[in-house]
C-alpha cells in the first residue's frame, strides 16, 4: 500500500550542506529536486533514511548542480550503502517503490554505486534515470542490477544516456527478469540495428508491457519485422525521428491496426506518404475515444485534405493532436516528451 507523508526541501537551486528541518520518522516520500547537495549533506542524509521504515519514494531529480564528478558516486554510495560513502546502503532493506535520479551526472561510477541496491530492490516499481550521463558502462551496471532485483519494476526510464547498441543489448538481457514491466523509455540513445533488434525482441517477454518510447534512435528496415510483432500488444508507442523510410510504414500501419486500445502514438518525421496517412486515418478514428496524444509532425507528404481529416477527428478535443508543421501557431515542441516521460497508463 502506498503511503503519503512527504518531506520536501523547496527547489531554489541553492547549495545545501545540512539538514535544517528534521525528517520525521513516518515520512514515505522525500523530494529534494532542484538544489545542489554536498557530500556532507548526504553523509547525514544517509544515516537518517536508514531509520525511515515507511520510506517509499525518492525524488532526487537535479540535485548535484555544480558538484564535481568524484562527489556524486560517493554521495550515491552513502545514500544506498550508509558506510561513509552516501545513497547506496542507506536504501538497502527499505521498501522503496520509486526513485527519480534524472538530470544528475550519475555517470558509470554512480551507476556502479546503485547496483547493489538494485540487486535487492524487489519492491521497486519505478526507476527514472533520464539524462544521467551513464554511457554504455553505466547502462550495463543498471541492467546487471535489475537482472537480479527488478521483479516488480513497472517503469524503466533510461533516456538520453548514450546507451548506444551495447547499452541496449545489456538492457535487453535484463528484460526477461522484468516480468511486470509496463513502460520502457529509452529515447535519444543512439541505438542502431544491433541494439534495437535484441531490445525489441526481448520485450516480447514482458507480457504486461503497455508503452515503449524509442524515439530519436534508429529503426532500420531489418528492424521493422521485429517492431511490427511488438506493436499490437501496446497501448502507446513513440517511434518519432527514428529514420523510418516510406517503405517501412505499410507494415507499421498494419500493426497499428491490430492494437486493441491505442492511447498514444508518436509518429513524427517518419516519411509517411499521403496514401499511408489515409490508411492511418480509420485506425485513429477507431481509437479516438482513447487516444490522449497523437503526433504526426514532419511527414511532409501528407496533403492538406488528409491533415484536415485528422484534425476533424479531434475537433472537439484540445491538445490531443500535435502540430503538423513547426511553423504552426501555439506549437509546444517539448509537450510530447513530457507526456511520454510522465505517462502512467
| Structure letter (DSSP) for residue 321 | B
Cell of 235: 497501448
Asked whether the predicted pLDDT for residue 89 surpasses 60, the reply is no
Point out the least confidently predicted range of 94-103, 107-116, 181-190.
107-116
Q: What is the pLDDT of residue 50?
A: 82
Listing DSSP states for 136-157 in one string gives HHHHHHHHHHHHHH-TT--EEE
Query: Grid coordinates representing 49?
Result: 533514511
Q: How much of the chain, in percent, has pLDDT values that exceed 90?
A: 68
At 88, is the pLDDT very low, low, confident or very high (cuts 50, 70, 90)? low
pLDDT in tens, 2-42: 556 999 988 887 889 888 888 888 999 999 988 888 888 88
**pTM score > 0.85 for this model?**
yes
Confidence of residue 327 (pLDDT cuts 50, 70, 90): low
Calculate mean pLDDT across residues 278-290: 98
pLDDT confidence tier of residue 71, bands split at 50, 70 and 90: low
Phi, psi of 331 (to 5 degrees): -75, 135
Between 175 and 93, whose confidence is greater?
175
Largest Cα span, the chain:
65
In angstroms, the CA 248 to CA 226 distance is: 12
Q: How far, in Å, CA of 71 to CA of 85, rounded? A: 9
Which residues lie closer than 8 Å to 148 by C-beta, 6 or more apart?
118, 119, 120, 177
Quote the pLDDT of residue 307: 97
The Cα-based distances of 274 to 140, 144, 223, 246, 301 in angstroms read 41, 44, 23, 10, 6
- Please check whether residue 166 is in contact with residue 194, taking contact to mean a CB–CB distance below 8 angstroms: no
pLDDT of 36: 87
Q: Is the pLDDT of residue 344 over 60?
A: no
The cell for 311 is: 484534425
99-152 pLDDT per residue, tens: 999 999 889 988 998 999 999 999 999 999 999 999 999 999 999 999 999 899
Residues 216-268: tens digit of each pLDDT: 999 999 999 999 999 999 999 999 999 999 999 999 999 999 999 999 999 99
Amino acid at each position: 500500500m502506498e503511503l503519503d507523508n512527504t518531506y520536501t526541501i523547496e527547489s531554489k537551486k541553492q547549495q545545501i550542506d545540512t539538514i535544517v528541518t528534521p525528517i520525521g520518522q513516518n515520512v514515505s516520500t522525500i523530494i529534494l529536486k532542484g538544489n545542489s547537495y554536498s557530500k556532507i549533506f548526504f553523509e547525514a542524509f544517509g544515516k537518517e533514511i536508514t531509520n525511515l521504515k515507511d520510506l517509499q519514494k525518492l525524488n532526487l531529480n537535479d540535485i548535484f548542480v555544480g558538484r564535481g564528478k568524484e562527489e556524486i558516486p560517493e554521495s550515491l554510495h552513502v545514500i544506498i550503502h550508509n558506510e561513509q560513502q552516501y545513497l547506496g546502503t542507506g536504501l538497502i532493506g527499505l521498501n522503496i517503490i520509486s526513485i527519480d535520479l534524472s538530470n544528475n551526472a550519475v555517470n558509470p561510477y554512480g551507476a556502479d554505486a546503485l547496483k547493489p541496491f538494485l540487486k535487492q530492490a524487489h519492491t521497486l516499481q519505478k526507476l527514472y534515470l533520464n539524462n544521467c550521463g551513464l554511457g554504455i558502462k553505466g547502462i550495463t551496471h543498471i541492467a546487471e542490477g535489475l537482472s537480479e532485483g527488478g521483479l516488480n519494476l513497472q517503469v524503466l526510464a533510461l533516456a538520453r544516456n548514450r546507451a548506444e547498441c551495447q547499452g541496449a543489448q545489456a538492457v535487453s538481457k535484463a528484460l526477461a527478469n522484468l516480468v511486470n514491466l509496463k513502460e520502457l523509455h529509452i529515447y535519444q540513445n543512439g541505438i542502431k540495428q544491433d541494439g534495437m533488434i535484441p531490445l525489441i525482441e526481448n520485450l516480447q517477454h514482458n507480457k504486461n508491457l503497455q508503452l515503449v518510447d524509442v524515439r530519436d534512435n534508429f529503426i532500420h528496415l531489418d528492424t521493422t519485422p521485429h517492431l511490427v510483432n511488438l506493436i499490437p500488444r501496446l497501448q502507446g508507442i513513440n517511434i518519432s525521428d527514428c529514420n523510418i523510410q516510406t517503405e517501412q510504414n505499410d507494415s507499421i500501419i498494419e500493426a497499428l491496426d491490430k492494437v486493441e486500445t491505442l492511447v498514444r502514438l508518436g509518429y513524427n518525421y517518419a516519411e509517411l506518404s499521403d496514401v499511408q496517412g489515409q490508411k492511418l486515418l480509420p485506425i485513429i478514428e477507431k481509437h479516438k475515444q482513447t487516444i490522449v496524444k497523437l503526433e504526426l509532425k514532419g511527414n511532409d507528404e501528407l496533403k492538406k485534405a488528409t491533415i484536415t481529416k485528422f484534425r476533424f477527428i479531434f475537433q472537439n478535443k484540445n491538445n490531443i493532436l500535435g502540430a503538423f508543421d513547426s511553423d504552426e501557431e501555439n506549437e509546444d515542441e517539448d509537450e510530447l516528451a513530457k507526456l511520454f516521460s510522465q505517462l502512467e497508463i
